[in-house]
Amino acid sequence: MKSCPTVPEELNRRLRELAPRIVLASQSPNRLLLLKDAGIDVTARPQVVDESYPSQDPDSVVSHISRIKLNSYMASNDFEEDTVAICCDTMVLFENRLLGKPHSRAEAYSMLSLFSGRKQKVLSGYSLYIPGRGAVSGTDESAVYFERLSEREIQDYLDTGDYIGAAGSYRIQRSGYRIVERIEGSWTNVVGLPFERIIEELSK
């Protein structure tokens, strides 16, 4: 029986060392939980921004949205210039189409039916404010291979409600791992917060 992946403790430890306190300029409960589970003293400062995007280049889209969230935070009264801040945006790239969060159960069913037995890419754009360096941005990419799913398996997954508010209609860190065969690349990137890339940036 499959078990849900977890963040390696070495990654958690390294992030704690580099940034024991972080402002998460996002309303994502999944990203907040990842940071709390890593032992980070985290403060959430959700930003409401226009998430429409001018470019169709996938990497540019997720990077652009993460950057406007960070810019919004840095221009706010909540901005803390001595504390690391993180913003991210995550989308699924499938058959050259960017897919975000489903608007209904029917749309989620359609997405998961398309993914069945196939590969997709998960793209995360990240923007960091690093005291003394300013703002930096980048992207990460992981490949996700889905199991072949029957209609019953899809409906059972949708019954969990985990598709609500999730890019691509699934959450790998909850019951979504059951419908995924394997991941190539960062697991935390699929969750929506690429620890490895963030640690690289903070280490420079």
Give the catalytic positions in this structure. Answer: 89
66 neighbors 127 (Cβ within 8 angstroms): yes
**What tokens appear for 32 in the block?**
């907040």
**What tokens appear for 108 in the block?**
């989620």
| C-alpha–C-alpha distance, residues 180 and 75, integer Å | 40
**φ/ψ of residue 83, rounded to 5:** -130, 135
| Residues in contact with 23: Cβ distance below 8 Å, sequence separation at least 6, in sequence order | 42, 43, 44, 45, 73, 78, 80, 83, 84, 85, 86, 129
| C-alpha–C-alpha distance, residues 75 and 45, integer Å | 12
User: What Cα–Cα distance (Å) separates residue 77 from each residue in 17, 69, 131, 185, 201?
Assistant: 27, 14, 17, 37, 25
